[in-house]
Chain A
Amino acid sequence: MLDRHSRRAWRSSAFRIQALAVLLAAFTLTAMLQLHHALDARFSERTATTLGGDLVLEGSQPPTPAQRQVLQGVRHAQTVGFASVLINENHFLLASIEAVSDSYPLYGQVIIANSRFAEGEPVSGGPPAGHLWLAGTALDRLGLAVGEFITLGEKTFLIGGVLVQEPDQQSGFYSMNPRVLMNLKDLPATGVLATGSRYKQRLLIAAPAPRISALAITLSDGLRPDQTLENAADSSLQQRGPVRQLFLWSRLAVMLILLLCAAAIYLTAALRAHQQQRLSAVMKTVGARRGQLIRRIIVGEMLPLLWPALIGTAMALMAMPALLSWLGMPLADGRDQWQMALGGLASPLLLWAGYALPPLWQRIGLPTVALLREQVVINRRQRLLTLLLAIATPLPLAWLLAGSLMALWPLLLVMAAVAVGLPLLLWPLVSLADRASGRLSLAARLALRRFSRRRAMTLPLLAALTVALATMTLSLHTGQQLIQQWRSTLPEQAPNYFVINIFDQDLPELRRWLTAHGSQTQPLYPITRARLTLINQTPVREAVSKENDRGQRALNRDLSLTEADALPQSNTLLSGTLATAAGEVTVESRLAESLDIQIGDQLTFTAPQQTIDARVTGIREVNWESFAPNFYFMFAPGSLGAQNRTWLTSFYLPPGNSAALTQLVQQFPHLSLLDVNALLNTLQSLISQASQAALALALLLLVAALLVLAAALLATGEQRRKDNRLLVLVGARQGLLKRINGWQAWMLGGTAALLANLLHLLALIPLGQLLFDGRLPLSPWLALPWALALVVTAVALIRHRGAAGQ
């Protein structure tokens, strides 16, 4: 039954466009839900990996039995971090040691190598009992190799591998001592576990999101003063920088695609309703009841649209997993897939109900006479209802897309304002153009008249096209810009090695090594470790509330203070000036906010051998995603004493240059060299994936815009054909008709392009300020709407067919 009706419906071109719109809406929404899901999963996995788990309980003492009890049946691991001395005959080395339980790591893998500078291999789990994995620098300084033995406290261990990378290597960059991994079971036997020494006891927990939220609540209740609880969901990368902007853009683009599909459905529905009108009239005159008419609408109009909705959803379900696995992104599991498919299937039907049903429905209620005379009289109440329905329909879709309306309402508001405001604004302009058209050619005048005489239809269409084109160029432009900006913080040759623990006397030789290997080097930063103790002579502990996480964390550990005479590339000065005279300092903006530090405040830092006083002259925004060295506090040169000072830098060295690295560590055995290649690669692949997604979205947007155009042409086709016949009757040649068609397409396309360009430039003023510090160059993408207008005009000229005869 579905089949027969589908085939009949398919014969109408209005239905075909409607079906295409439904297919596009279903495809876009399903694909987008999947992409968002995958990106979400990808980012939260990355965050969890960096953190060590979905939830991390950290303290200076072991977790309480009650806290362990809560973790029954939940995947978890325990780590104990401490500093201790490794001994090899008469070599001593202070190392930063992490003892890990057998279930470690919960996310990601430890990478170890068989020898210094050999290619690292990921392994599952940590070191077995009796083994130690040592960072390469530790081996360098102890003069040992894999397979040899080393003593920690009262126990001797076999060196089982070179520790290349820990999955949860957080900001370990600034840890002074080489890293060592050992098995937690061996810890008692070493006897280094003495009360009073400083430990970092971590309990890492992995579980599905709902379980984690429940655990977070339970655990945060019984927190000891020394303990903190960190949740991956709170520090998710998504909340940050370029990723968040791209997410927002993609949602706007998808919402717009859906609305354009809605516009196409609406335009064609009026036509379908008109076609159905005579049928309804005939059915009524032969005694059809209301129920039969409703059944006809459902069977003849709605059910046939199930096919394109199904096909669109199925296409997305088939294409996306392939695409995602090609991009190396995680796939949604079965239940989530079903939910997304349901969303993709329901949304176009919702659009149909919101935009196509009203005109059909209204005709059911009309008296037969009105139907036969093709008079459609719609009363005010119905009109209001239709309008309300049209406004309300996108809301559940926005909710489905964004998870909440909060993130989207400003965008929806802007779009609604443009959709309503643009026609109102253009209305008098079109009248003006019409009146001034006397000098135009006949073809241009007739085309303008066709446009201006149907303003109620053409202006909303123009607005829809304008918004679509503007969003397209904007999303291409800013998306590209965002990605470029992101990429520029991570250039091809982003620093892939960090060197720390450089002493004053190493500097000349190190500089020589760096130039010799043509490495692109960041500046050398002097590092002094100190704690922030006073703000304006008030002890900071009193100034910072307990809930203030970032502030707490900054206070509880030694900070790396540095001196610099210039602003690093990854920093932007938000207010104030750079620190130039000794005793001046600039502060990272988010830390300044959480500690309530203002320009002009006096800060006091305490280091073992000195007290440092400085006045705040400026607040800096720091891009923490950049791989350049970044600091909370940057002092003017000469502010920090030279005692206890080490240096830090980062540089880029092409892969496969291990001989140079060997030479470096042999020349400076006390240096710590950190390899961040693996992290960099993940980020770089993420960026290129994001840019591909932005392009795909823009293409879908284009298809949707063309669909609306086709629907509009179809809706006005009848009148156009009639007018053309008349023109031929009074002697018009085909050339004239062709020119009218061309002008008409150009007027619509060109005006839309012009307005889209204006809207684009207008939007750039606040956007440029917001996202790019007012430095947003013009983009060649601005030419795209014009290209489109030209194509549409060319198609109108080519596709024109004469309509002679009556």
Chain B
Amino acid sequence: MTASSPVLEATTLSKHVQGPEEKLALLEDISLSVMPGDSLAITGPSGSGKSTLLTLLAGLDVPSAGQVYLNGAPFSAGSEDQRARLRGEHCGFVFQHFQLVADLTALENVMLPLEILGRKRPREQAQHWLEQVGLGRRCHHFPEQLSGGEQQRVALARAFVVSPALLFADEPTGSLDYRNGEHVAELLFDLNRQQGTALVLVTHDPALAARCQHQLSLVDGKLHA
């Protein structure tokens, strides 16, 4: 990985689904690239295809046409397991709805990606990252015992614990009140700077989008410069 090559690149991505009557185009002809340490905001009205784009970029779904490259390697062409492996190694996620495993404690949730990747000393690293997001003393609490903001911070710790090259965030502050939203956004950009993690942020909050180095706007599944 050199500083000059993009960490994430998408070329002419399209996504079609079979609707009740005719074929539906959710995304059409999307190309973009993200350099290491960059931050990119994807904005657009509700239903414009932002989340769909994110799932394709993160390899959670395969495009109907086009290709996604992660660190220069074709990402969307791999098998589901290959994509999962790459994703686990290089990507972190934060979503609007707090995506924690309900049966696991905060600490176990953060340890989870490390354990799946078979990394060493998962407990210490997870502990460290929970302290980083200010939850060092809530390690053994279950998600239902944490507030929305706290759950989102656990999700952040989990996203950063693998030291990803790339972080995907889909409306990370969407379900939070102003103060908690600010707190999470602060953490997100701090970590982006400190860790050199590239950030792909989906939001319809213009203020949040403005804090990113690059902005893209999506309307009806098409990029709008």
Q: B-contacting residues of A (Cβ < 8 Å)?
A: 442, 446, 449-450, 453-454, 719, 723, 726-736, 802, 804-806
The verdict on A805 contacting B55 (CB below 8 Å), with A726-B101, A731-B88, A732-B88 known, is yes
A450 contact set on B, CB distance < 8 A: 103
Contact B88 A730 (CB under 8 A): yes
The verdict on A804 contacting B80 (CB below 8 Å), with A729-B87, A731-B89 known, is yes
The secondary-structure label for the interface of chain B is helix
B102 at the interface (CB under 8 A from A): yes
B95 contact set on A, CB distance < 8 A: 806
Contact B81 A735 (CB under 8 A): yes
* B51, B85, B101: the one within 8 Å of A731 (CB): B85
Q: How far is the CA of A442 from the CA of B101 in the complex (A)?
A: 14
Q: How far is the CA of A496 from the CA of B116 in the complex (A)?
A: 74
Contact A730 B89 (CB under 8 A): no
The verdict on A732 contacting B84 (CB below 8 Å), with A805-B60, A806-B51 known, is yes
Contact B85 A733 (CB under 8 A): yes
B 107-124 to A, binary, CB cutoff 8 A, 1 in contact else 0: 010001101110000000
* B99, B103, B115, B162: the one within 8 Å of A449 (CB): B103
Contact B81 A733 (CB under 8 A): yes
Q: A-contacting residues of B (Cβ < 8 Å)?
A: 51, 55, 60-61, 80-81, 84-85, 87-89, 93, 95, 99-104, 108, 112-113, 115-117, 142, 158, 162
Shortest Cβ gap from A717 to chain B (Å): 14
Shortest Cβ gap from A729 to chain B (Å): 6
What 10 A-B pairs are tightest by C-beta distance, nearest first?
A: A731-B88, A453-B103, A730-B113, A733-B81, A449-B103, A805-B61, A805-B60, A733-B84, A442-B115, A731-B116
The verdict on A729 contacting B80 (CB below 8 Å), with A442-B116, A449-B104 known, is no
A736, closest chain B residue (CB) = B116
Contact A727 B112 (CB under 8 A): yes
Contact A723 B101 (CB under 8 A): yes
The verdict on A731 contacting B84 (CB below 8 Å), with A805-B61, A806-B55 known, is yes
Q: How far is the CA of A367 from the CA of B172 in the complex (A)?
A: 31
Q: How far is the CA of A446 from the CA of B105 in the complex (A)?
A: 12
A802 contact set on B, CB distance < 8 A: 80
Contact A730 B55 (CB under 8 A): no
Q: How far is the CA of A734 from the CA of B80 in the complex (A)?
A: 8
B87, closest chain A residue (CB) = A731
B87 contact set on A, CB distance < 8 A: 729-731
Contact B80 A730 (CB under 8 A): no
Q: How far is the CA of A453 from the CA of B102 in the complex (A)?
A: 9
B142, closest chain A residue (CB) = A453
Q: How far is the CA of A640 from the CA of B117 in the complex (A)?
A: 91
B117 contact set on A, CB distance < 8 A: 731
The secondary-structure label for the interface of chain A is helix
Shortest Cβ gap from A517 to chain B (Å): 75
A804 contact set on B, CB distance < 8 A: 60-61, 80, 84
Q: How far is the CA of A729 from the CA of B158 in the complex (A)?
A: 11
User: Which of B88, B89, B103, B115 gathers most chain A CB within 10 Å?
Assistant: B103
Contact A731 B113 (CB under 8 A): yes
B162 contact set on A, CB distance < 8 A: 731
Q: How far is the CA of A592 from the CA of B60 in the complex (A)?
A: 83
Shortest Cβ gap from B54 to chain A (Å): 9
Contact A734 B102 (CB under 8 A): no
User: Which of A450, A729, A805 gathers most chain B CB within 10 Å?
Assistant: A729
The verdict on A728 contacting B84 (CB below 8 Å), with A723-B102, A805-B61 known, is yes
A733 contact set on B, CB distance < 8 A: 80-81, 84-85
Shortest Cβ gap from A746 to chain B (Å): 18
Q: How far is the CA of A442 from the CA of B158 in the complex (A)?
A: 17
Contact A727 B85 (CB under 8 A): no
Shortest Cβ gap from B112 to chain A (Å): 6
A723, closest chain B residue (CB) = B101
Contact A727 B116 (CB under 8 A): yes
Q: How far is the CA of A733 from the CA of B116 in the complex (A)?
A: 9
Q: How far is the CA of A804 from the CA of B89 in the complex (A)?
A: 17
Shortest Cβ gap from A754 to chain B (Å): 23
The verdict on A726 contacting B99 (CB below 8 Å), with A731-B88, A733-B84 known, is yes
Q: How far is the CA of A731 from the CA of B70 in the complex (A)?
A: 15
B84 contact set on A, CB distance < 8 A: 728, 731-734, 804
The verdict on A723 contacting B103 (CB below 8 Å), with A733-B81, A806-B51, A806-B60 known, is yes
Shortest Cβ gap from A727 to chain B (Å): 7
Q: How far is the CA of A596 from the CA of B219 in the complex (A)?
A: 100
B115 contact set on A, CB distance < 8 A: 442
Q: How far is the CA of A34 from the CA of B182 in the complex (A)?
A: 72
Shortest Cβ gap from B79 to chain A (Å): 9
Since A453-B103, A726-B101, A732-B116 are in contact, a sample of 13 more A-B pairs with Cβ atoms closer than 8 Å, ordered by chain A residue number, is A442-B116, A449-B103, A723-B101, A727-B101, A727-B112, A730-B113, A731-B162, A732-B84, A733-B80, A733-B81, A804-B80, A806-B60, A806-B95
Contact A729 B60 (CB under 8 A): yes
B158 contact set on A, CB distance < 8 A: 730
Shortest Cβ gap from B130 to chain A (Å): 16
26 residue pairs A–B, Cβ–Cβ below 8 Å: A442-B115, A449-B104, A453-B102, A719-B102, A723-B102, A726-B99, A726-B100, A727-B101, A727-B116, A729-B60, A729-B87, A729-B93, A729-B99, A730-B88, A731-B87, A731-B88, A731-B113, A731-B116, A731-B117, A732-B116, A734-B81, A735-B81, A805-B61, A806-B55, A806-B60, A806-B95
